């Protein structure tokens, strides 16, 4: 995809990106408030997440990088693909990620510091979060196009589906690759320096 095509495609996603961003921010706030008001339930959620995303202390930075990249790439590809089901999965994905971030923000800011939280999230999050939001936006758009398909929009659906996959592979996957490198190699070093 050339720069002109990228700009045009992002422009077509404008309202979906705005909606995804709003849901994500609202979910962060909801997660933060939830963690403040339900500490026991929050600790249980954190324990389950730690178990699910557990990484051995003996694993190298490269192994961590592969785990992060593979997990994010597959997860967001699923968000894009499953958008064809009326766009519900992308909405749920943005909401769930926002809630988790809000919960972690409350716990880390209270137990450690806001500085630790920002250093732990921003270096890779400045790439990863927009990729999540854009992936969800693509999924939501695909949901709308899929509904059009029922009413005879087969050609439009195929054209949009091809654009979505190309954008994901050639733009979003490289960004996830960079974000995973930062999270595996740079973020731990920055956190140790605090």
Indicate whether 62 belongs to any domain.
Answer: no
Indicate whether 52 belongs to any domain.
Answer: no
Average pLDDT over residues 18-45: 93
Indicate whether 10 belongs to any domain.
Answer: yes
Q: What is the pTM of this model?
A: 0.89
pLDDT in tens, 172-187: 999 999 999 999 999 9
Indicate whether 59 belongs to any domain.
Answer: no
CA atoms of 140 and 164, how far apart (whole Å): 11
More confident: 3 or 173: 173
Distances (CA, A) of 37 to 9, 62, 108, 133, 144: 41, 38, 15, 27, 37
Count the domains in the chain.
Answer: 1
pLDDT in tens, 106-146: 998 888 888 998 999 999 999 999 999 999 999 999 888 87
Indicate whether 158 belongs to any domain.
Answer: yes
CA atoms of 189 and 33, how far apart (whole Å): 30
Distances (CA, A) of 92 to 24, 71, 143: 10, 17, 13
Name the residue range of residue 177's domain. 3-43+73-192
pLDDT score of 17:
97
CA atoms of 48 and 53, how far apart (whole Å): 9
Indicate whether 92 belongs to any domain.
Answer: yes
With CA atoms as reference, report the closest residue to 146 among 165, 133, 159, 131.
159
Indicate whether 50 belongs to any domain.
Answer: no
DSSP class of residue 112 equals T
With CA atoms as reference, report the closest residue to 91 among 39, 156, 145, 139.
139
Indicate whether 124 belongs to any domain.
Answer: yes
């Amino acid at each position: 995809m050339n720069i002109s095509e990228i700009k045009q495609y992002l422009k077509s996603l404008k309202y979906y990106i705005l909606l995804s961003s709003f849901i994500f921010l609202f979910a962060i706030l909801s997660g933060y408030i939830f963690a403040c008001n339900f500490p026991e339930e929050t600790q249980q959620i954190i324990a389950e997440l730690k178990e699910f995303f557990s990484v051995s202390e003996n694993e190298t930075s490269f192994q961590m990088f592969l785990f992060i990249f593979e997990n994010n790439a597959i997860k967001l590809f699923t968000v894009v693909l499953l958008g064809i089901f009326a766009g519900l999965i992308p909405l749920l994905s943005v909401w769930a990620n926002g809630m988790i971030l809000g919960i972690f923000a409350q716990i880390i800011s209270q137990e450690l510091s806001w500085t630790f939280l920002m250093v732990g999230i921003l270096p890779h999050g400045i790439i990863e979060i927009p990729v999540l939001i854009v992936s969800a936006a693509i999924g939501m758009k695909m949901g709308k196009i899929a509904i059009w398909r029922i009413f005879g929009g087969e050609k439009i659906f195929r054209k949009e589906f091809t654009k979505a996959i190309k954008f994901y592979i050639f733009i979003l996957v490289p960004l996830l690759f960079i974000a995973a490198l930062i999270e595996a190699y740079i973020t731990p070093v920055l956190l140790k320096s605090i």
